[in-house]
Structures are given as structure tokens and as C-alpha cells.
Chain A
């Protein structure tokens, strides 16, 4: 789903850059007020983790394979806004370092693969905590459904952008993209749920807090670390 240079029309690329820049910009602004400096290395290694986890391939029907996108996982672990930032750095890093995804399509790629999943799943999680009972099953179901939906939504958006650019006929590419991504989304959901249930079993403290995960809430101090 990394859209390369030249696949998007200039106006589509620019139109997608606006929400991407707005979301990441707001995330950075918000982090400037609430984020403890000690958490920056954590965000960095989380970005590296997502980058590396995207190398995890799993089989999809017909000999093709999909890989983890990680937006939903990041959203649950970090909260929506920090997840936006981390996903933006991951996608930009792939474009600049590995030429994977075009630099002119960066806005669209960050929006499809990062912002939509991070904000969608993160905000759904916040909402679910308000209106649904807070237990493991609800938590994991919301995360799993969110992971699946984030992949489908990303595929839908990518098809719509390519269609609007006149690169491919929307009506032809949409069923193909969604058909493949139904299965990729299941893989994403299975991995996300398995990962979160393992984190819940071993370090539940990482997921607690007001829906923003550990990274923006509990400040890490050397003394606390020595004591623990």
C-alpha cells in the first residue's frame, strides 16, 4: 500500500497532505505540552519496532503475503496522537531511507497507513472505555476490530486516491484491493490481539492510564527505575 511517486495526481497528493500534516502537527504540538523528555527514546524504539514488525509476513490466499501495518497496535499502546507521530516517522523513514513509497505521496501514505488507523482505533478505544464495560474481552475485541477496520479503510482510501488520480479505474481496483485486504486485515487483527493479550498478561501497567498508554502519563525517573 506504499503509493510511489507519480501514481497520484498533484491535487490529490496535496489534498491528502493537508489532513496528514494537520494530524501530525497537532500531535507534535500536544506532545510539546504533555510529553516527558524521557519518553522520546521510547517513541524512537517503538518506531523502530513498528518498522521491523512490518517485515513480519504472513500468508494470504493464493501465494501472496501480507504484513503487519502496526497502526492499531501503536494506537492502543501509545494513544492516538503519539501513534500518529510514530507512524508518520515510520512511513517517512521508509520513503527517505528505503525509497519505499514516494516523497510526493508521503501525505497520502502517512494518512492511509498512519493517521487513519492511529486516530480511528485510538479514539474508538477512548469511546469504548466510556460506554462499554472495562474488561479484557471488550478491550481485545475493540482492538481486533479496529485493526481489521484500519487495514480496510487504508485500502479503501488508497484505491480512492488512485482512482481520483485517474491512475487506475476505481470500480476495478476497489474490489481487488478490498478482497486482498479482507485477509490481510484478519492477519493484522490476529497479530494485534495476540500481541496485546501477551502485553496484558505480562506488563498490564503499559496499557493502563487514561487511554493514552504509558508513554505520556507515567514519567520515568532514574530513581523510580533503580527502585523498581
Chain B
């Protein structure tokens, strides 16, 4: 269950000046998390609700001109899990048998659970991918900050995102240095070299953290990040959230 974290990289995609890209980050967080909540909270086989969630997501993607390829590349992290975990389901549920594969019986109820898990995982993943595609990470963090997430957490998240790619690049260089010295581990016990590499990376990271703080002080940091443009909710933001809720909530209630 521990796949590689070969992340395809986040960051905004599509038409960066589109209407949905320009919305307030809080509206986008609330709107897309609402889609996830509605989709995931349904009972089994609520196909009309999932279809509506899919249509809302497609509309958001179309409005932001986010290419389908980007969504596919970023959302497929969830695929191995659905296949690995959910593939168990049809074989181990009791109930009406609809097919047999050798000694294993496939039950209708199992197929329904598989379908609902796959649909919910898709809705949740695509919502998160779209949020990332129409909102920059600093904007998401800032939105969360104004939504009363503790400042310590948002500050750590901001620094994490700022230095993630720097450190990942450093890690990549260290890995190629190891590879060029013919390091090819075959068992988990040979992972010690990775540990020493991790510690070298940690020590470099640690001294980088110390340098960053000194640089911040040198630029006049006094406990708060300066904000040039205050966040303001506009009518478009209310319309965005309102449309999503109006489309999904009635369906969710009657299903």
C-alpha cells in the first residue's frame, strides 16, 4: 500500500486568468470540499448524486480550461489503491452470486461496494486535483489561514511548500551520486546508505532552516508575514459556492 510518491508536480494549470482561477481561495476550498463531502457521504449506489458531483467537477474544469490530461496524470495516484484494496471486495462479500472465477464467487453486493468505493475515491481525488489546478498552493494556505487554521500550521505549511522542491532536487542529486557509485539495493537491510543520505540531507536542511530565519530577520521579519493585498469575498465567490450547493444538496437530501 506504499506506492512511490512520484508526484507529477502540483501547481495551477489551465487558463490561469479564467473566472474560477480568479475566485477567492476560500470560496474554492469550500466549494470543492463540499463536492467531496456530498459525494463521499452518500450511501451505497447513489449514482445520481455521483453523476451530479461529476458534472459539477467537469463544469469547474471546463470553466478553468484545465486539460483532461492534467487531471488524469495527477489523479491516477489513487488508482493502484482502488485496484489493490477494492479488488478484494467482490470476492469476499456474501449475497447473490453473479459470476464465478475459479473457486471464487463474485457477489452482486460486492460489486456494488466496489463501484461505490471507486466512485467516491474518484470524486474526492478529482476535487482535490481541481482545487490544486485552479488555486496556487500559497493561495490555498492563505485561504486556510483566514479560515482560522492555527497560524503555526499555515506557517509551517508555507515554509514546507517553499523549500520542498529545493530539498527534493537536493535529494535527487544525492541519489544520482549514490547511483553513480553503483548503489543498487536489493533488500530492505541494504537501506542503510539511504539512511546516511537522509541524515546528510537532514543536516543540510537544518542549517538551511537556520540560515532562512537569519535572512528573514535581515529583511525585517517581525513575527508576521507581510500581506500586500487583503483577501476579499466578491459576488462571484458567493455565486460559485451557491451554485455548487444548490446543485448538489437537494439531490443529496432526497437520495
- Residues on A lying within 8 angstroms of B by beta carbon are 1-7, 10, 24, 28, 31-32, 35, 37-38, 40-49, 51-60, 65-68, 73, 77, 85-86, 88-90, 92-100, 102-104, 155, 158, 162, 166-169, 172-173, 177, 180, 183-184, 186-187, 190-199, 202-203, 206, 220, 222, 225
Q: In the bound complex, do residue A6 and residue B194 qualify as a contact, i.e. CB atoms below 8 Å apart? A: no
Q: Report which of B4, B152, B167, B212 forms a contact with A57, defined as CB distance below 8 A.
A: B4
Q: In the bound complex, do residue A199 and residue B203 qualify as a contact, i.e. CB atoms below 8 Å apart? A: yes
CB distance from A228 to the nearest CB of B (A): 10
Q: In the bound complex, do residue A183 and residue B77 qualify as a contact, i.e. CB atoms below 8 Å apart? A: no
Q: Report which of B132, B155, B156, B170 forms a contact with A99, defined as CB distance below 8 A.
A: B132
Q: In the bound complex, do residue A41 and residue B209 qualify as a contact, i.e. CB atoms below 8 Å apart? A: yes
Complex interface: chain A residues within 8 A of B125 (CB): 4-5, 99, 102
CB distance from A212 to the nearest CB of B (A): 15
Complex interface: chain A residues within 8 A of B187 (CB): 59
Q: In the bound complex, do residue A6 and residue B123 qualify as a contact, i.e. CB atoms below 8 Å apart? A: yes
Q: How far is the CA of A128 from the CA of B33 in the complex (A)?
A: 43
CB distance from A117 to the nearest CB of B (A): 14
CB distance from A29 to the nearest CB of B (A): 9
- Most chain A CB within 10 A, of B118, B150, B188, B189, is at B188
A85-B156, A95-B128 are known contacts; what are 4 more A-B pairs with Cβ within 8 Å?
A: A7-B85, A102-B124, A206-B206, A220-B213
Q: How far is the CA of A46 from the CA of B204 in the complex (A)?
A: 10
CB distance from B174 to the nearest CB of A (A): 10
Q: In the bound complex, do residue B206 and residue A42 qualify as a contact, i.e. CB atoms below 8 Å apart? A: yes
Q: Report which of B155, B160, B185, B214 forms a contact with A222, defined as CB distance below 8 A.
A: B214
Q: How far is the CA of A225 from the CA of B199 in the complex (A)?
A: 22
CB distance from B160 to the nearest CB of A (A): 4
Q: How far is the CA of A134 from the CA of B75 in the complex (A)?
A: 48
Q: In the bound complex, do residue A158 and residue B1 qualify as a contact, i.e. CB atoms below 8 Å apart? A: yes
The residue on B at minimum CB distance from A165 is: B117
Q: In the bound complex, do residue B152 and residue A35 qualify as a contact, i.e. CB atoms below 8 Å apart? A: yes
Q: In the bound complex, do residue B164 and residue A51 qualify as a contact, i.e. CB atoms below 8 Å apart? A: yes
Q: Report which of A28, A66, A203, A225 forms a contact with B188, defined as CB distance below 8 A.
A: A66
Q: In the bound complex, do residue A168 and residue B153 qualify as a contact, i.e. CB atoms below 8 Å apart? A: no
Q: In the bound complex, do residue A191 and residue B160 qualify as a contact, i.e. CB atoms below 8 Å apart? A: no
CB distance from A217 to the nearest CB of B (A): 14
Complex interface: chain B residues within 8 A of A95 (CB): 128
Q: How far is the CA of A108 from the CA of B160 in the complex (A)?
A: 22
Complex interface: chain A residues within 8 A of B137 (CB): 96-97
Q: In the bound complex, do residue A184 and residue B152 qualify as a contact, i.e. CB atoms below 8 Å apart? A: no
Q: Report which of A1, A41, A85, A202 forms a contact with B212, defined as CB distance below 8 A.
A: A41
Q: In the bound complex, do residue B189 and residue A186 qualify as a contact, i.e. CB atoms below 8 Å apart? A: yes
CB distance from A136 to the nearest CB of B (A): 15
> What is the interface of chain B mostly: helix, strand, loop, or mixed?
helix
Interface stretch (choices B55-63, B86-94, B233-241, B247-255): B86-94
Q: In the bound complex, do residue B152 and residue A4 qualify as a contact, i.e. CB atoms below 8 Å apart? A: no
Q: Report which of A5, A190, A199 forms a contact with B191, defined as CB distance below 8 A.
A: A190
Complex interface: chain A residues within 8 A of B92 (CB): 168-169, 172
Considering the complex, which residues of chain B in the window 155-191 have a beta carbon less than 8 Å from any beta carbon of chain A? Answer: 155-164, 166-168, 170-171, 185-191
CB distance from A2 to the nearest CB of B (A): 8
Q: How far is the CA of A133 from the CA of B75 in the complex (A)?
A: 50
Q: Report which of A92, A99, A104 forms a contact with B77, defined as CB distance below 8 A.
A: A99
Q: In the bound complex, do residue A99 and residue B1 qualify as a contact, i.e. CB atoms below 8 Å apart? A: no
Complex interface: chain A residues within 8 A of B189 (CB): 186, 190
Q: Report which of A37, A48, A194 forms a contact with B160, defined as CB distance below 8 A.
A: A48
CB distance from A169 to the nearest CB of B (A): 5
Q: How far is the CA of A28 from the CA of B124 in the complex (A)?
A: 28
Complex interface: chain A residues within 8 A of B196 (CB): 194-195, 198
The residue on B at minimum CB distance from A226 is: B214
Q: In the bound complex, do residue B132 and residue A5 qualify as a contact, i.e. CB atoms below 8 Å apart? A: no
Q: In the bound complex, do residue B2 and residue A67 qualify as a contact, i.e. CB atoms below 8 Å apart? A: yes
Q: Quick one: given A42-B210, A167-B89, A194-B199, are A187 and B117 in contact (CB under 8 Å)?
A: no
The residue on A at minimum CB distance from B44 is: A166
Complex interface: chain A residues within 8 A of B214 (CB): 222, 225
